[in-house]
Structure 1
Amino acid sequence: MQNTETNRIENKEQLNEDFEQEVIAFLNYKEGGIIYVGIDKNGQVVGVENNDLTQLQIKDRIKNNIQPSTLGLFDVTVETIDNKEIIKVIISSGTEKPYYLRKKGRTPEGCYIRIGSSKERMTERMIEEMFARRIKNSLKEIESPRQDLTFRQLKIHYEGNGMILNDNFARNLNLLTDEGKYNYNAYLLADENNISIKLVKYLGTNKMELIENQEYGYCCLITATQRILDRLTAENTVYAKIEYNGRKEVEMIDSKALKEAVINAMVHSDYTLTTTPIIELYSDRIEITSGGGLPQGLSQEEFLEGVTAPRNKELIRVFKDVDLIENIGSGVLRILDAYDKSCFKFMDHFLRVSFKYKENPFEYDEKTDKKTTKKTDKKTTKKIKVKPQEKDVLNFCKDAKTLKEITTYFGFKDISTFKKNYINPLLEKGTLQLTIPEQPKNRNQKYISK
C-alpha cells in the first residue's frame, strides 16, 4: 500500500525533531490534518517498533512543547497496514491560532502552517492577522456565573473509566480562567448549573400537538448526555423476527448514528449563545438541533468530509476521557455511514440533523403468517419478550456481551429487571462472570459464561 502525502496528510518514517512543527502547521491550517508515523516519504509502510513508547512520546511532546493548549485537539491511535503497526495522529484545526513552539514563542521561528503538502514558516504579518481573528469569546475565558461549584458526578464518570481526578484536575482539564477562577467549561461539567437540555415529543409530523416536554439538564453535562442517550435507547424500537436460523433485527433509528448526533450536539454547541441543544421526536423522525452553526472557517463540504474544527475542545477532551467519544473527527462519518448528506441542515446560527424512522421490514411477513397459521406467536416483530432459560443466557454469553446486547437479544426493554431476574442469579452461581470484576459498574462491563 502507498500512502501519498497531501495538504492533509504527512508521512514520517520515525518520530524526529521537527514533529512538533508539523503538528503546529496542521493546528494553524483551516482543515487540520493527519500525521502517520511509520510510513516513509515515498508512502511505503515501514512500521513502528515500539508503538506504546512512541505514543507516549507523541502525546508528551504535543502537550508540553506547543502553545496555546492543545487539549482536545489531537488524537493518537494505532493502525495495522500491510501487517505492520503504524501510528496515526489526528490533528484538528485549532481555535486559538496561531499555535507555536513554546521555546520559540509567537514568532516566525515558532509558527508554521500547512501549504500544499509541506509546512512553511509563517511571516510576521500572517501571525498578526491570524491572532487578530482568534475567537476570544471561548468558554475557557468566560468566567462561570457561579464559583461554588462541586464535581462529584464528573469524578464518578472518570472513576468508572479507571481514572482518578487529583487535586489539580480543574487546571489540568482547563476548567480555570487565566485568573484562576472557574470558567464556563467548569460550569457545564459541575454537579449543578442552569443549563437545560430539552427533549420534546409531538403526536404527529409537526409541532401542532405536544405530548411530552422533558428537561435533562441542570447537572453535569456528561450525566445529562447519558440520561438522554438512555431515554432515546428506550424510544428506539428494534424490529425483530425469530426464525429457524436465528434472530433478525432492524433498528428504527441507527443507534450508532443517533449516539454520535447527540454527542456532537453536546460538545459542539455554542454555549456562549442563549440556546442549548434540543431533541425533538416526531411520529416519523427525530431531529437534534445545536446552536452556533458551523465553526468559523469550516465549509459545509469540509464538515461532511469529516474535517474538524472543535468549538469546545476542553469538552471534547473530557467526553473522550470518559469514553463517550472514540476518535476525534469520526462522528460525522459514522452518521454518513447510515444516512445520506441530506440528514444535515445547515443554518446561520444552528445545525440540525434529522433521522427518518425506518418502517418495520417484517410487517408483511407477520400478516402472511397470520393467514397461513394460527401459531403466530412463534414469529415476532418488535421486542417480544422470550423468557430465556439459564442455558440460553450462558450459550449467548460464550463470547463476552454487554448487558444491553443480552437484553436486546432476548427482547427485554427493562434492563434492571432483566439483570435482577436473570443475570444476578447466574453471577451468584458462578456460571456467569464479569469481564471487569474489580469495577462492577464500569460502563465497558461485559458478561461471559465460564
Structure 2
Amino acid sequence: MIETDRIEFKEILTETLEKEVVAFLNYRQGGVIYLGIDKNGKMVGIKDTDATQLKIKDRLKNNIAPSCMGLFDIEVEEKQSKHIIKITLASGSETPYYLKKQGMSSRGCFVRLGSASEPMSTQMIEELFSSRTRNSIGKIRSNRQDLTFEQLKIYYEARGLKLNDQFASNLELLTANNEFNYVAYLMADSNGTSIKVAKYEGITRVNLVENNEYGYCSLMKSTKQVLEKLELENKTATLITSKERINQKLWNPVALREAVINAIVHNDYTRELTPTFEIFDDRLEITSANGLSTGIDNEDFFKGFSIPVNREIMRIYKDLDMVEQLGSGMPRILSYYTKKSFDFSNNFLRITFSINDEPIENSGSMGGSMGGSIGGSINLTPRQQEVLEIIKRDKKISYRAMAEQLDINESAIKKHLNKLKEKNLLKRVGGTRGYWELINND
C-alpha cells in the first residue's frame, strides 16, 4: 500500500486529522484515511480502537463546517495481525468545507493534490462557495411543523439506539432557524410523500395490472415496505432432482436491495419527485430523480465515487444499517449486472434488471437450451458463451482484459470463470503467468 490522491496514512491520531478530512471532502473523488500505518506503508496498529473511533467522530462532528455527518464511515480492520482504523470519506456537495477555528479561508480550506493536502487559493474558495448547493433538503423549511417521529424512534430502538430529547438537532432535522426541515418532513410519521411500485402485463406500460403506493409515513417505513414488496415479486424458480433442490431468483437479491436503497437515498426530493419501481414480464426498472452529481462522470460513478445528494438521509440509513460502507453499493450491483443496465439523463437515473436468464442445469423443459448448449447436456448463459469466445481468441488473456471487453468488473468475470470450471469446460494452467485451457470444446 502507498499513499495516493485518495489514500492517506497516519501512524497515530494527530492534530492534522481534520485538515486531511477537509481536503478529501473538497476532492471530487473523496478518499480514505488509515490510522495505524506509517508513511512507508508499515503496519503499526492502533491500541485502543474503540476510544480512538469515538474521538474521531467527535472531532469531525464539531471541528468541520459545513457538517460532514453522513459523509464518512469509521471502521476497524485487521492487517498483518495489527488493528488499524479506516476512515472512508465521500466528496461533499456543500464545498468548500473548512476548519471551523480557521474559517472559510486559505488557512481553513484544503483540497487533495496528489498525495498531499494543500491550502485552497482565495479564488478557488470564492468559486466553490458561489456554486455551493443552497437548495438542499436540510435547508428547506418543512411546510408542516406539527411533525411526530414515533416510527423513526421504533426503528432506532430496534437497533439498540435511543433517540433523546435532542434527536432533532443531532440528526440535523432542523433549519438554521430551529424549525423542522424537509428531511424531518420525509422522516415524520405523516407526510404527503409516497413511492410507487407498478406492475404491467407484457413488456410495455399499456396494461397496468397493479399499482401500489407506499408512503404517507416515515421514508424509512416506506423503504422497508418497497423492499418487502419486491422481495415478494422476486419469485424463485425451483428444480427438485434426486440429489438436490436448485433455486433461482428473477433478480439477484443483493443487487436488488442495493439498487432500491440507492434510488431512495440519492433521490432529489427538492423537486418533490420520488423513485418509481416498475415490473414488466422481462425486466424491473428503477427510476430516481437524479442525474450524475456535478463533478462526477460515468467512470467515477461506476467505481463507487459519489457525492451523496442527501447526506442527512444517508446518515440515518447508516445508523439503521440500511446502508453499509460508503461507495460499496455500486460494486455490489456490478458484480451481477453490467454497466449497460444503467441509463443516465440530465435529471434521472434508471437501472434496468432483466429477468435472470441463468439456466437451471439438467432442468429438462425449465430453462431448456437457453443460452445454447455445449457438450450436449451442459447449458451456458450468453455471458458464459462470450467468455469462452474471448478465451478461444486469446488463451493468455487476463481477468482485467476480459472485464474491459465485456464491460463488467473483475469479480463478475471470476464468477463466470468459476461456473465454467465447475462445468468442466475450462481450467487454468500455470497460475498467474499461465494460460487458459478449454476442455471438450473446439
User: Aligning the two structures, in what range does the TM-score lie when normalised by the shorter sequence?
Assistant: 0.7 to 0.9
Question: What residue is the counterpart of 2:109 in the other structure?
Answer: 111
Task: Please report the RMSD computed on the Cα atoms of aligned residues, expressed in angstroms.
Answer: 1.5
Alignment match of 1:359 (pick from 357, 375, 396) = 357
1:86-125 mapped onto 2 (5 Å cutoff): 86-125=84-123
CA distance in 1, matches of 2:37, 2:52: 14
Q: Deviations over 1:49-93 (max 9, x none)?
A: 222122112111111111111110100111222232211101011
Deviates further, 359-368 or 222-231? 359-368
CA distance in 2, matches of 1:187, 1:138: 13
Query: Are the equivalent residues in 1 in contact too, given 2:93–2:132 (CA < 8 A)?
Result: yes
Query: Are the equivalent residues in 1 in contact too, given 2:22–2:111 (CA < 8 A)?
Result: yes
CA distance in 2, matches of 1:173, 1:105: 24
Alignment match of 2:56 (pick from 30, 55, 58) = 58
Q: Deviations over 1:313-343 (max 9, x none)?
A: 0000001111111111111111111111111
Question: What residue is the counterpart of 1:226 in the other structure?
Answer: 224
CA distance in 1, matches of 2:281, 2:171: 41
1:150-299 mapped onto 2 (5 Å cutoff): 150-243=148-241, 246-299=244-297
Question: What residue is the counterpart of 1:132 in the other structure?
Answer: 130
CA distance in 1, matches of 2:183, 2:97: 21
Matched AA of 2:343: K
Alignment partner of 1:34: what SS?
strand
Query: Are the equivalent residues in 2 in contact too, given 1:144–1:182 (CA < 8 A)?
Result: yes
CA distance in 1, matches of 2:200, 2:342: 21
Q: Deviations over 1:3-60 (max 9, x none)?
A: 1111111111111111110000001111111111112212222222222122112111
CA distance in 1, matches of 2:77, 2:198: 41
Contiguous gaps of at least 5 residues in structure 2: 367-442
Q: In the superposition, relative to structure 1, how do residues 366 and 42 fare at CA in structure 2: closer, same or farther (>3 Å)?
A: same
CA distance in 1, matches of 2:189, 2:332: 31
CA distance in 1, matches of 2:85, 2:291: 33
CA distance in 2, matches of 1:289, 1:18: 41
Question: What residue is the counterpart of 2:77 in the other structure?
Answer: 79
The count of aligned residue pairs is 366
CA distance in 2, matches of 1:162, 1:30: 35
Query: Are the equivalent residues in 1 in contact too, given 2:239–2:363 (CA < 8 A)?
Result: no
Question: What residue is the counterpart of 1:448 in the other structure?
Answer: none
Alignment partner of 1:141: what SS?
coil
Aligned-pair distance for 1:364?
Answer: 5.2
Alignment partner of 2:363: what SS?
helix
Question: What residue is the counterpart of 2:394 in the other structure?
Answer: none
Query: Are the equivalent residues in 1 in contact too, given 2:152–2:188 (CA < 8 A)?
Result: yes
1:408-427 mapped onto 2 (5 Å cutoff): none
Contiguous gaps of at least 5 residues in structure 1: 369-450
CA distance in 1, matches of 2:358, 2:2: 45
CA distance in 1, matches of 2:91, 2:357: 40
Matched AA of 2:28: K
CA distance in 2, matches of 1:21, 1:242: 59
Matched AA of 1:83: S
Query: Are the equivalent residues in 2 in contact too, given 1:139–1:185 (CA < 8 A)?
Result: yes
Aligned-pair distance for 1:352?
Answer: 0.8
Query: Are the equivalent residues in 2 in contact too, given 1:239–1:360 (CA < 8 A)?
Result: no
Aligned-pair distance for 1:365?
Answer: 1.9
CA distance in 2, matches of 1:273, 1:241: 46
CA distance in 1, matches of 2:364, 2:45: 54
- Identical counterparts, % of pairs: 50
